Amino acid sequence: MTETFTLVHMSDVHLGPLEGVPLRHLNTKRALGYLNWQRGRRFVHLRSVADRIAADALAQTPDHIAVTGDLANLGLPGEYASALAWLEALGDPAQVSVVPGNHDIYTGRLGGASCLETWAPFMRGNEGPAQDGPVRFPYVRTLGPVALIGLNSAVPTPPFVAAGRLGAAQIADVATSLDRLGRAGYIRVVLIHHPPLQGQAPPRRALQDAAAFADVLDRHGAELVLHGHNHQQMLAWRRHSERGIPVLGAASASAGQAHKEEPLARYHVLRIRRADGAVHIDCEIRGFAEASGAVVRLARQDLVMPAA
Ligand SMILES: [Fe+2]
Ligand SMILES: [Fe+2]
């Protein structure tokens, strides 16, 4: 098969507006998060930047778009509605897949619809009978040669904690799905918000069951893992049956200014094809080289595991 599947990967747009938090939605975590947003993050994550990234992504004529979480900030219904409008501008739910981040499932529910309800059409599998009711993870979307496996690593957390967890049931289910999809010959692409490997984030921001997830990758295989959360460009590797599994992290797709170690907005265009019995993934990083500039190609590389 020489057909190329073009997958756009973007993450962590952190869309406002945050024009105050309704009192009935307020708790300690949201109050602290709101202060953090007002003091700094609102100058970093800009809807106008996210829109320019989205326009450039659509100009690449992708076969599909994957968004790896943190579309919101404080998990507020108004943010979910704003993010839904942005998702709908990206494409039909059949062409856009989303997994939630810790800022989407932010704290215990205090009223209003959850993101899992508001964004449900973007988080449903497309195998078997049409689904309704609550979304389930992992979901599987088969798209030509590619199968996307969407995971939910977001759990409500106390103030100052941004950790994630998959849980035993989801880890068991993803192992089964990876086996089945691998046997069927699909190119398996896993979507998860948190960096999924041990040591990729400090403990209070990390995936708590990273060791169990890495074990699943090692034993069952995958062709690509995509994540967000750290707001940085990241590439790590796992190995399954002598083949490398790239674990690729995207920076924020809405950063209008560099912030600490976080670069200006960028995203990935992944051109995936199977040739000579192997999967080849060309990763183009597109984004802003300067804050007031255009969206350009920043870098590209073949995702080939470096020699040990
Ligand atoms: Fe984020
Ligand atoms: Fe995050």
Digit-coded pLDDT (tens) for 225-236: 999 999 999 999
* pLDDT tens track for 52-84: 999 999 999 999 999 999 999 998 888 999 999
Query: In the chain, pLDDT over 90 holds for what percent of residues?
Result: 76
Residues by chain with Cβ below 5 Å of ion ligand 2: 70, 101-102, 229
- Provide the residue count of the chain: 308
pLDDT the model gives residue 24: 76
Average pLDDT, integer, range 26-51: 88
270: β partners? 7, 283
* pLDDT reported for residue 146: 98
- Reply yes or no on whether the pLDDT at 88 is more than 70: yes
Q: Quote the tokens at residue 165.
A: 């967890």
How far, in Å, from the CA of 177 to the mean position of ligand 2? Answer: 25
Task: Report the pLDDT value the prediction gives residue 2, as an integer from 0 to 100.
Answer: 62
pLDDT digits (tens, 9 = 90+) for 99-148: 999 999 988 766 778 999 999 999 999 987 777 889 999 999 999 999 99
Cis omega (within 30 of 0) on the bond before 158?
A: no
CA 2 – CA 165 distance, rounded (Å): 37
Ligand 2 centre distance from Cα of residue 158 (Å) = 14
Query: Residue ranges per domain, the chain?
Result: 5-302
Question: How far, in Å, CA of 259 to CA of 292, rounded?
Answer: 15
pLDDT band at 1 (very low <50, low <70, confident <90, very high): very low
pLDDT given at position 133:
86
Spacing, Cα 4 to ligand 2 middle (Å)? 30
Considering every ligand atom, which ligand is closest to the CA of 204?
2
Would you state the structure tokens that stand for residue 232, as one six-digit string? 């940085």
* C-alpha of residue 306 to centroid of ligand 1, in Å: 28
Provide the pLDDT for residue 35. Answer: 84
How far apart CA 38 and CA 238 sit, in angstroms, is 39
- Find, among 265, 297, 294, the residue nearest to 11 by Cα: 265
CA of 247 to the centre of ligand 1 (A): 17
Section 277-297 average pLDDT: 96
Ligand nearest to the CA of 99: 2
Q: Tens of pLDDT along 140-191?
A: 999 999 999 999 999 998 888 899 999 999 999 999 999 999 999 999 999 9
Say how many Å lie between the CA of residue 207 and the centre of ligand 1. 14
Centre of ligand 2 from the C-alpha of residue 159, in Å: 14
What class has domain 5-302?
alpha beta
Secondary structure of the chain in HEC code, one letter for each residue:
CCCCEEEEEEECCCCCCCCCCCHHHCCHHHHHHHHHHHHHHHHHECHHHHHHHHHHHHHCCCCEEEECCCCCCCCCHHHHHHHHHHHHHHCCHHHEEECCCCCCCCCCCCCCCCHHHHCHHHCCCCCCCCCCCCCCCCEEEEECCEEEEECCCECCCCCCCCCECCCHHHHHHHHHHHHHHHHCCCEEEEECCCCCCCCCCCHHHCECCHHHHHHHHHHHCCCEEEECCCCCCEEEEEEECCEEEEEEECCECCECCCECCECCCEEEEEEEEEECCEEEEEEEEEEECCCCCCEEEEEEEECCCCCC
Distance of CA 99 from the midpoint of ligand 1 (Å): 12
pLDDT of residue 18: 64
Dihedral sign computed on CA atoms, order 295, 67, 124, 29 = negative
Q: What is the pLDDT of residue 36?
A: 84
Say how many Å lie between the CA of residue 154 and the centre of ligand 2: 8
80 Cα–ligand 1 center, Å: 15
User: What pLDDT does 255 receive?
Assistant: 97
Residues 187-225: tens digit of each pLDDT: 999 999 999 999 999 999 999 999 999 999 999 999 999
Ligand 2 center from residue 232 Cα (angstroms): 11
Residue 32: the pLDDT is: 86
Distance 250 CA to ligand 2 centre (A): 11
Alpha carbon of 183 to ligand 1 centroid (Å): 34
What's the gap in Å between 184 CA and the centre of ligand 2?
33
Q: What percent of the chain has pLDDT over 70?
A: 97
102 CA distance to ligand 1 centroid (A)?
8
Residue 242 banded pLDDT, cuts 50, 70, 90: confident
Instruction: Considering every ligand atom shown, identify the ligand nearest to the alpha carbon of residue 195 and give its number.
Output: 2
Q: According to the model, what pLDDT value does residue 308 have?
A: 64
